């Protein structure tokens, strides 16, 4: 099933990523593509944390959704989809909204890498605090709504972001908490579109591309490929 991956990165590297324990917080437009690409990359152990149900408004961008699973729990539908791709995957789901009051649930999970795809800036900050305090590798995704150019996404650090209101708030929280470590992020340099409109309009290709960048960052950070 994964022979083409092994032919690209070698069996030793494939075994490294296969045995990683990845936690994905948020399984929407960004997180769904993280999950999809990790499952198709052979990663065996994935934990998903999300408390949302599928809404008809999700159909334009969230890969785990379809017309027939509207109203269903996102984590359950993601697990079902993942097992249809790789039946031997070990997928654990938590149907909850992660915040400072239940962040210690991560103590129950073996975490080699945490990928933050949630929408809440407060949860993002709590994840940063938890991971930096516990020396857990992580990467967080910043805003992908109101943007039309996936080519303007990049992997960078929080202190180098621009044109992202969410990043500005998060930087302030991190600075106030005196967190000095570099915070890896996926962020866009595109100015937001439709700033007058409060609705978080979104096309499929920007959040989906962000998800691909997040998963590629994690995999490339964990393997050793000589250039």
Q: The domain that contains 46 carries what CATH number? A: 3.40.50.720
Dump pLDDT digits (tens) for 101-110. 999 999 999 9
Please check whether residue 181 lies inside any domain of the structure: yes
Q: What is the mean pLDDT of the segment spanning 76-95?
A: 97
Dump pLDDT digits (tens) for 4-23. 999 999 999 999 999 999 99
Q: Of the candidates 36, 223, 226, 210, which has an alpha carbon nearest to the alpha carbon of residue 112?
A: 223
Please check whether residue 195 lies inside any domain of the structure: yes
Q: What is the mean pLDDT of the segment spanning 176-194?
A: 91
The alpha carbon of 140 is separated from its chain's Cα centroid by a whole number of angstroms, namely 7
**Does 196 have pLDDT greater than 60?**
no
SS3 148: coil
Measured CA distances, 80 to 4, 116, 137 (Å): 24, 21, 27
Measured CA distances, 49 to 8, 22, 99, 149, 191 (Å): 31, 11, 11, 28, 30
Could you tell me the pLDDT band of residue 200, with boundaries at 50, 70 and 90?
Answer: confident
Domain range spanning residue 105? 3-222
How far apart CA 25 and CA 98 sit, in angstroms, is 8
How far apart CA 202 and CA 188 sit, in angstroms, is 14
Please check whether residue 227 lies inside any domain of the structure: no
Burial class of residue 127 in the structure, from the number of CB atoms within 10 Å of its CB (0-12 exposed, 13-18 middle, 19+ buried): buried
How far apart CA 44 and CA 67 sit, in angstroms, is 28
Please check whether residue 22 lies inside any domain of the structure: yes
Please check whether residue 107 lies inside any domain of the structure: yes
How far apart CA 219 and CA 4 sit, in angstroms, is 15
| Counted domains in the chain | 1
Measured CA distances, 66 to 20, 29, 47 (Å): 29, 13, 22
Q: Do 55 and 146 touch, CB atoms closer than 8 A?
A: no
For residue 203, the model assigns a pLDDT of: 86
Q: What is the mean pLDDT of the segment spanning 49-77?
A: 96
Q: Do 161 and 167 touch, CB atoms closer than 8 A?
A: yes
């Amino acid at each position: 099933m994964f022979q083409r991956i092994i032919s690209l990165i070698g069996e030793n590297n494939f075994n490294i990523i296969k045995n990683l324990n990845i936690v994905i917080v948020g399984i929407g437009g960004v997180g769904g593509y993280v999950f999809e690409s990790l499952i198709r990359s052979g990663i065996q152990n994935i934990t998903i944390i999300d408390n949302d149900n599928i809404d008809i408004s999700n159909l334009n961008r969230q890969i785990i959704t379809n017309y027939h699973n509207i109203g269903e729990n996102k984590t359950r539908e993601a697990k079902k989809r993942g097992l249809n791709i790789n039946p031997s995957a070990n997928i654990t789901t938590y149907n909850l909204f992660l915040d400072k009051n239940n962040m210690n649930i991560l103590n129950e999970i073996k975490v080699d890498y945490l990928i933050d795809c949630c929408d809440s800036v407060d949860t993002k900050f709590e994840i940063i605090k938890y991971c930096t305090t516990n020396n857990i590798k992580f990467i967080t995704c910043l805003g992908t709504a109101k943007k039309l150019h996936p080519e303007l996404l990049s992997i960078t650090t929080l202190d180098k972001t621009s044109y992202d209101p969410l990043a500005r708030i998060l930087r302030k929280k991190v600075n106030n908490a005196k967190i000095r470590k570099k915070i890896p992020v996926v962020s866009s340099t595109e100015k937001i579109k439709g700033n007058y409109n409060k609705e978080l309009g979104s096309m499929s290709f920007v959040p989906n591309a962000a998800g691909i960048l997040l998963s590629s960052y994690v995999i490339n950070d964990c393997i050793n490929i000589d250039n």
